[in-house]
Structure 1
Amino acid sequence: MDLFDVGPYELSEAIKTTMLRQRLVSLTEHHIANCADYQKLFGDIELGSIKQLEDIPFLTVPLFKQRELKSITKDHVFKVLQSSGTTGQRPSQIYLDAQTAKLQSRVLVKIMQEWLGKQRRHMLIWDHPNVIKDKASFSARGAGIQGLSFLGRNHTYALNDDMSLNVEAINEFHEKFSDQPVFMFGFTFMVWKYGIQALQASSLKLNFESAVLLHSGGWKKLQDEAVSTDTFNTVANDCLGSIKAHNFYGMVEQVGSIFVACEHGYFHAPSTAEVIIRNPETWKPAAVGETGCIQVLSALPESYPGHSLLTEDKGFVVGRDDCQCGRKGTYFKVLGRMAKVEARGCSDTFERGAS
């Protein structure tokens, strides 16, 4: 059995943990041997002492802003991704080789097919087309759109460059595909402000019969406006028709490892990834239901040491193997940023740049 061949939510926690630990120990050894900075930090670790996932050493996400962390030579760099760093601050630099990029795409397809089905859907993107052309904005936003676009067809951008609704494009897309399976994607705050709220203020009426809306990014501004997940989903259905909206948690530092929220609103760890919640005072693993700092583990990063990262987000594990949706593995909630952490989310960065 291979982690990369099984369904994303098929493995029980016990079986997955054993397989994932072996893979992560192997990645730790690989990065110690091939990344000088990683070797300086963890070269003295006795790999045989890693008995549990919590024993895997972790880097903090901000280190990728400060250091050029890669486990490949320059001539093997296939692509460099950037995080959505705030204005004036250096974004994370994530170095991919062809093998890691291929592995990320393979796993991403498996995860997304769980929510979209295997047939490619017609795709409506809640952004403007220049976001993937403009080098200044091609970071997490552009990478997110480009990374998911191959799951759709007949790609249509719903917004103009000034973030206004592209009414002509939306109407044409709706007329052609309203009764067919549709895939919508955008960053959460932008879908809300420039999509849903703009539709409410316009005379444009949409009624898609079978659409899935996947959205991701900072919820801070929605929380500031007192917009809950239930409100978002209800209003989205009012404006767009019969849609299933799923938020997902992920970051450019671990592309391919995404945690999609199920019908009950819980994020689920796929077979190739895991989350550990750590007490911010002791850094020991927190109990189920206890809030702490989110650590993300991924079986994918071979070209850079991003397989075990301590994020700047807080949350808690709800349970394992027993979610009402039937998917196995760890499921959890994200509560926002830890205190005194820079707000670097995609939505927040865009708003600062636009104001």
Structure 2
Amino acid sequence: MSLSFESILVQAPYSLARDDKHAMQLTRLRELTEHHYASCEPYRRMLDAQSFVPATLDNVASLPFLPVSLFKTLKLQSVPDSDIVKTMTSSGTTGQQVSRIYLDKATATHQQKTLVKIVSQFTGHGRLPLLIIDSPDVLKDRQQFSARGAGILGFSLFGSDRAWALDENMALNLPVIDAFLQKHQGKRILLFGFTFMVWQYFYQALKASGHPVDLSNALLIHGGGWKNLQDKAVTPAVFAKKLHDICALPAVHDYYGMVEQTGCIYMQCEHGHLHTSIFSEVIVRDPRDFSIVPHGQPGIIQVLSLLPESYPGHSLLTEDEGVILGEDDCLCGRKGKYFRVSGRLKKAELRGCSDTYAAQF
């Protein structure tokens, strides 16, 4: 049975309980695996080496995974070069290899539509005035986006009017912020930025300036690595409280995502849990033998996505450690698995947008 991505898009992102979600995802993942097996020679050779036949896939957890680092060393794409409309690169510090993700029009469209479906569950329908906590200089090469630039561009979809909180030198641009807030006084406002930059260049700079800013009617969505803030003993709870203390920001939502599966992000709910949607799944594996560990036990995070058609990125083993907290029973009411990311695996490279930027300084 064929399952088009468009037929999945019509459903609410957190609407399916375990069995229904599994059945739907199994059909789509089997089709994606058959497509990439037929169209991507390196992927086909890796599956052949495991004696895996895509048509025999009968359980989502049995789908072979690729180490996410392979996108740094191999050219993995499942469409002709002439179909590629955009190449995305991962964040990386100087000297690091970066992942390269090749997108055709269909996959880029899937990413955009999925992001809208997921995020609108938190922001509401309709666009909001958007204050981007970054510098406009990050968007330079429109054909080859860094993960940071791609994240900003993706979330710009939710902005009815956009302003940049930082100037080209990453300094707080208070005149722009004041004018933006004055213009949209009384309206709900969306803020977006990467975790370290929100803390270092927005919160810390605002605190040092003593300049009053009222964000009591705003919502912040932020993402990227936490390592540099954890090293400073800044937990998610401290992060949210400090922002509330200095500018009355009432709602802060983190998200987990990666350039290798852009669009298919895991949003943090009101109870502090990261959630899978109908477009994604998370499996946690034992680092010793890659067996699946029970809920509540930490291990390596594997992520599955229903989106990628132009490259074989639908089942990836990350370099992150995490733990699944439950499924279908979060107090927020959203269906699906919910989980926590504990941090990077030892000896894994920094790759979160926040952490790689911080490491340069």
Is 1:30 the counterpart of 2:35? The answer is yes
Deviation at 1:209, TM superposition (A): 3.4
Note if 1:108 corresponds to 2:86.
Answer: no
Given candidates 328, 343, 347, the residue that maps to 1:340 is 347
Q: 4+ residue runs of structure 1 moved beyond 6 angstroms?
A: none
d(CA) in 1 for partners of 2:345, 2:96: 19
Q: Is residue 176 of structure 1 aligned with residue 146 of structure 2?
A: no
Q: Which residue of 1 aligns with 2:9?
A: 4
Q: CA deviation at 1:138?
A: 4.5
Instruction: State the shift of 1:18 in Å.
Output: 1.0
Question: Deviation of residue 98 (structure 1)?
Answer: 0.3
> How far apart are 1:242 and its partner, in Å?
3.8
Tell me what 2:95 maps to. 88
Aligned twin of 2:44 = 39
Q: What are the residue-to-residue correspondences of 1:42-57 with 2, within 5 Å?
A: 42-43=47-48, 44-57=51-64
- The yes-or-no answer on 1:187 pairing with 2:191 is no
Question: Quick check: 1:128–1:163 contact (8 Å CA) kept in 2?
Answer: yes
Task: State the AA in 1 paired with 2:252.
Answer: A
Task: Output one character per residue of 1:120-150: Cα deviation in whole Å (capped at 9) or x when no partner.
Answer: 0000000011111268x95111110011101
1:258 maps to what in 2? 265
Percent of paired sites with the same residue: 46
Whole-angstrom distance in 1 between the partners of 2:55 and 2:149: 40
2:216/2:247 contact within 8 Å kept: no
CA distance in 1, matches of 2:199, 2:216: 20
Indicate conservation of the 8 Å contact 2:133/2:191, yes or no: yes
2:206 corresponds to 1:199: yes
> Does 263-272 or 85-94 show the bigger shift?
85-94
Deviation digits for residues 67-96 of structure 1, max 9, x if unmatched? 110001010001000000221122100000
2:324 equivalent in structure 1: 317
Q: Is it true that 1:308 corresponds to 2:315 in the alignment?
A: yes
Structure 1 contact 180–209 (Cα < 8 Å) conserved: no
Q: Which moved more, 1:100-109 or 1:339-348?
A: 339-348
Contact 1:3 1:20 in 2 (8 A): no
Deviation at 1:203, TM superposition (A): 2.1
CA shift, 1:243, in A, is 2.9
Residue 204 of structure 1 deviates from its aligned partner by 1.5
* 1:169-318 correspondence to structure 2 within 5 Å: 169-318=176-325
| Cα deviation, residue 282, structure 1 | 1.2
Q: Helix, strand or coil for the counterpart of 1:3?
A: helix
Q: Which runs of 5+ in 2 are unaligned?
A: none
Query: Would you say 1:158 and 2:165 are equivalent positions?
Result: yes
Do the aligned residues in 2 keep the contact of 1:178 with 1:208 (CA within 8 Å)? no
Q: Which deviates further from its counterpart, 206-215 or 126-135?
A: 126-135
Q: Partner of 1:102: helix, strand, or coil? A: helix
Distance across 1 between alignment mates of 2:293 and 2:93: 30
Q: Among residues 1, 8, 21, which one is paired with 1:16 in the alignment?
A: 21
Contact 1:25 / 1:50 at 8 angstroms: preserved in 2?
A: yes
The answer on whether the counterparts of 2:87 and 2:145 sit within 8 Å (CA) in structure 1 is no
Matched residue SS, 1:150 = helix
- In the alignment, what sits opposite 2:81? 74
* TM-score normalized with structure 1 length: 0.97
Q: Which runs of 5+ in 1 are unaligned?
A: none
CA distances 1:246-268 after superposition (whole Å, capped 9, x unpaired): 00000000001100000111100
For 1:209 and 1:186, locate their aligned partners in 2 and report how far apart those are by CA, in whole Å: 17
* TM-score after normalising by structure 2: 0.95
Give the Cα separation in 2 of the matches to 1:245 and 1:208.
12
The secondary structure found in structure 1 opposite 2:250 is: strand
Contact 1:206 1:240 in 2 (8 A): yes
Separation (CA, whole Å) in 1 of partners of 2:351 and 2:157? 26
Deviation at 1:4, TM superposition (A): 1.9
CA-CA distance at 1:211 after TM superposition: 1.2
Residues 281, 304 of structure 2: 8 Å contact kept: yes
